[in-house]
Chain A
Amino acid sequence: MSQTSPLPPAAGSAPAAGPTPTVGRPAGATASVSAGLLPTGGASARGGAVAAGSGPAVIRAAGVSKKFVSYHKRATSLKEAFVRRGGLAGEDFWALRDINIEIPRGQTVGLAGANGSGKSTTLKVLAGILRPTSGKVEVHGRIASLLELGAGFNGELSGRDNVYLNASLLGLSKREIDRLFDSIVDFAELHHKIDDEVKHYSSGQYVRLGFAVAVHVDPDILLVDEVLAVGDEAFQRKCLAKIDEFRNQGRTILFVTHSLDLIENMCDRVVVLEAGKVIHDGAPGVGTKLLRQRLGSSPTEGAGAYGTATVRPETLSFSALPGTAPQIAYNPGDSMTMSVGIEVAEGAPAAIRARCVVVGQNEIPIWVMDTPAEGIPVSPGFTVLDYTIGSLPALLGAFAVRVEVADAATGSPITSRRFHELFGIDGSHAEGLVHVDYEARPRA
């Protein structure tokens, strides 16, 4: 189906495979941002990625590793410090392993990965807040790190005092702040409250003021953690517009985000982390595809933790009939069998229910298939369930499957897994999801 792509072949390969957010546009995208909200070709066209930046590297991390020593292993009392002199190697946790990132001036880089993959740690190391255990970090220019908006605000002081204090911390002189003050207040839209104590601000106002200060310190490098997730939609739009403005001014931006749309629309390049290692560094299109794959099929969602569940959907395949060769492209009316391989461990319920939710774009359920209410008896080992569909509906698109297993006796969920495997139905020739027979004519 990708042959029908309007995009050039170069973009039709892996990088372009990321979805076009034509429907799932993030609420926060502004008009100016949406100029970039185009088919992924946009991202890859912009992003010969590494070449997009100009000039010398402003951030260079070479072989950076970061080890955290678990708290109880740390010498936190004087006694321990003396008693234990280099003893016990504690349970160290390597948050980052051998990270090599070089970011030239003017590049916008997204930092993505699952929770705990080391994104925030990377940002903190680059911001000079954490010291890498090994390796070297070089940063040239003024950094504004939006790790937390309004960090360092003092509730007892007025907004005005806090602006001066915070900007001063970030490296501005009094004269510079005087000059920027009105602009900061304008941006935060807090004219009426700027002389009130910050403790009387709403959380939204607090964050707005924090963001306003941070972006006004005239940073050469902007490090943004997931702070944009806070604030209302209008504010998010404003933040994104500001970040976009920074891009246009040729500043370097590095931001952590879970939003694949943001990565595709704002970044020249994406760095994907997994367990503290860089698993991808380059075109956003490829990065988001990789992320979708890692996150989408990550079997963590649902009631039970997948890893400890007694019944675990392990495999998924599609074929025309039970036991025939795998096939993933179908036409309407074809028969299809969905085979779910389930690993059953000791201690599993005697009977389970397994529900397959076929999902389309944006995880919208298209149809659901369930096992009979009394469940299917299972015994420890590997079981394959076949769901056979006699005639596929006239749909258009590629679909994925989420399998949810539950205890048949109690109905309580055991675990669920969203598989990344896709099958496609080439149904309609119009743009819609479903083919509907109709006729159009003027009323007589």
Chain B
Amino acid sequence: MDGPLAGNPSNGAPLAGSPPRLAGSPPRPQPARRPGAGPRHAARNAPQTTGSVDATSNPAAMARRSRAQSRVRWELLRNLIRKDIKVKYKGSTLGFAWSLANPLLLLVVYTFVFQVVFKSGVPRFGIYFLSGLLVWNAFAGSVSTACGSVVGNANLVKKVRFPLAVLPLSAVGFAAVHFVLQLLVLLVLTMALGYPLIGGGLLLLVPASAVALIFTVGMSMLVSALSVRFKDVPHLIEVALMAWIWLNPMVYAFGLIQQRLHEYTWIYELNPMAVVVMAFQRAIYVDANATKPDGTPLQVLADPGYVYYLERLAMAGGISLAVLALGVWVFRKLQADFAEDL
């Protein structure tokens, strides 16, 4: 303890004290209460009465309290999603209605463009397109928001200890909330327009949504972590998403792919989002086959049955789980350095 002081030449001298101490050196009455004797000190040694501190004497309780700050909690995630929604719609008169009106407007525009102007031959093109687009938008929205989720919260990441994974997860949650509501709007719209909605097919939405969720979470965690370290990633993702949208049978019918790729169609189906989009179309859209204006038959959907989709979804699910594992692993590995890299 004295080691560091030894180097000070004036240390051993009689005047070692610094000025204030000398000024106070003539004897003066000591206040009655000295630290160490007063109630303050006594309180420190007395048995703790505060409930919270009592709880902490228990190591298990301590560990639990410590974990609450490092584990992703559903409640925290919900709060963050709610915050994002609140912030996004704050001050806009229509608020959330904007997001719900979105599919409606898209439906009108795309029906006009691809049915009236281009005559793609896909009947009720708007519904066909939207049934795939909504899930794709949810995916693309999550991933591109997730890119900036950690970087954009640099201040928080650098100053507060909290489970960092909630950042990309809240990006997914935010998109998911919109997706679910927009999907409902689409279903209502389909019925309102008098199109048949077969009951059984809708069940396909469940596994398809699950695969989409797993894949989206995996990708979001992956890109959010990589974006912190590698500043190119957000740009890369932006471009990749633009290209990727064409790898899904949304604007064109899946039949076109089968006609071109034949036995290599499985390569196309390695893309989990393509499978998800196909399954969504199968669930919401009913016309498996159509006839083009020039009389040639057009296979709009891949298969009229459901087994085909379940098989593909199983494979896409496997790929998605692998992506999720990779995403979680990369995020875990990199997150300890986020505060430093930002």
Contacts and interface: CB of A to CB of B under 8 A. Distances in A.
Contact of A169 (B9, B45, B76): B76
A194 B303 CA distance: 58
Interface string A1-32: 11111100000001011111111100000001
B69 A142 contact: yes
Contact of B36 (A16, A45, A171): A45
Interface in B2-24: 2, 4-5, 8-11, 13-24
A436 interface: no
B264 interface: no
Interface string B13-39: 111111111111111101101111010
B53 to A, nearest CB: 5
A128 B70 CA distance: 9
Given A35-B40, A46-B36, A151-B155, A157 B18 contact: no
A139 B159 contact: no
A17 B21 contact: yes
Contact of A165 (B15, B59, B83, B341): B83
B62 A140 contact: yes
A255 interface: no
Given A35-B38, A420-B10, A19 B83 contact: no
B15 to A, nearest CB: 4
Identify which of A14, A23, A362 gathers the most chain B CB atoms within 10 Å of its CB: A14
A148 B31 contact: no
Interface residues of A, number: 104
Contact of B1 (A41, A251, A280, A429): A280
B48 A249 contact: yes
A308 interface: no
Contacts of B79: 164-165, 168
B240 interface: no
A129 B56 contact: no
Identify which of B43, B65, B233 gathers the most chain A CB atoms within 10 Å of its CB: B65
Contacts of B10: 328, 420-422
A329 interface: yes
B18 A19 contact: yes
B105 interface: no
A145 to B, nearest CB: 6
Contacts of B38: 35
A265 to B, nearest CB: 9
A373 interface: no
B45 A54 contact: yes
Interface in B33-90: 33-36, 38, 40-41, 43-45, 48, 50, 52-53, 56-57, 59, 62-63, 65-66, 68-70, 75-76, 79-80, 83, 86-87, 90
B339 interface: yes
Interface string A399-432: 1100000000000000000001111100001110
B209 to A, nearest CB: 27
Given A38-B34, A250-B48, A171 B65 contact: yes
Contacts of B230: 75-78, 81
Contact of B159 (A32, A148, A400): A148
Given A168-B76, A171-B69, A161 B161 contact: no
B56 A361 contact: no
A234 interface: no
B75 A18 contact: no
Contact of A362 (B20, B27, B90, B156): B20
Contact of A39 (B2, B23, B24, B340): B24
- Contact residue range for chain B? 35 or more
A58 B59 CA distance: 10
A54 B43 CA distance: 13
A141 interface: yes
A139 B66 contact: yes
Given A77-B231, A147-B160, A151-B156, A398 B40 contact: no
Nearest to A218: B52
Contacts of B4: 272, 279-280, 290
B161 A35 contact: no
A431 B160 contact: no
A292 B20 CA distance: 12
B292 interface: no
Contacts of A293: 5, 8
B68 A142 contact: yes
Given A293-B8, A361-B20, A1 B339 contact: no
Contact of A421 (B9, B45, B76, B158): B9
Contacts of A349: none
A398 B41 contact: no
Interface stretch (A281-289, A331-339, A376-384): A281-289
Interface in A104-153: 105-106, 124, 127-131, 139-143, 145, 147-148, 151-152
B162 interface: yes
Given A145-B160, A420-B10, A35 B35 contact: yes
A74 B62 CA distance: 38
Contacts of B87: 154, 156-157
A174 B74 CA distance: 11
A203 interface: no
Given A4-B26, A362-B20, 17 more contacts: A6-B30, A14-B2, A14-B11, A18-B21, A22-B20, A46-B41, A127-B161, A131-B337, A141-B56, A141-B62, A143-B66, A165-B79, A165-B83, A168-B79, A171-B65, A220-B65, A289-B18
5 contacts: A32-B40, A42-B35, A161-B83, A282-B1, A328-B14
Interface of A: 1-6, 14, 16-24, 32, 35-36, 38-43, 45-46, 54-55, 58, 68, 74-79, 81, 105-106, 124, 127-131, 139-143, 145, 147-148, 151-152, 154, 156-157, 161, 164-165, 168-171, 173-174, 218, 220, 247-251, 272, 279-280, 282-283, 286, 289-290, 292-293, 328-329, 360-362, 396-400, 420-424, 429-431, 433
What are the 6 tightest A-B residue pairs by CB atom distance, in nearest-first order?
A19-B20, A131-B336, A151-B159, A171-B68, A142-B65, A42-B35
Interface of B: 1-2, 4-5, 8-11, 13-28, 30-31, 33-36, 38, 40-41, 43-45, 48, 50, 52-53, 56-57, 59, 62-63, 65-66, 68-70, 75-76, 79-80, 83, 86-87, 90, 153, 155-162, 229-233, 236, 336-337, 339-341
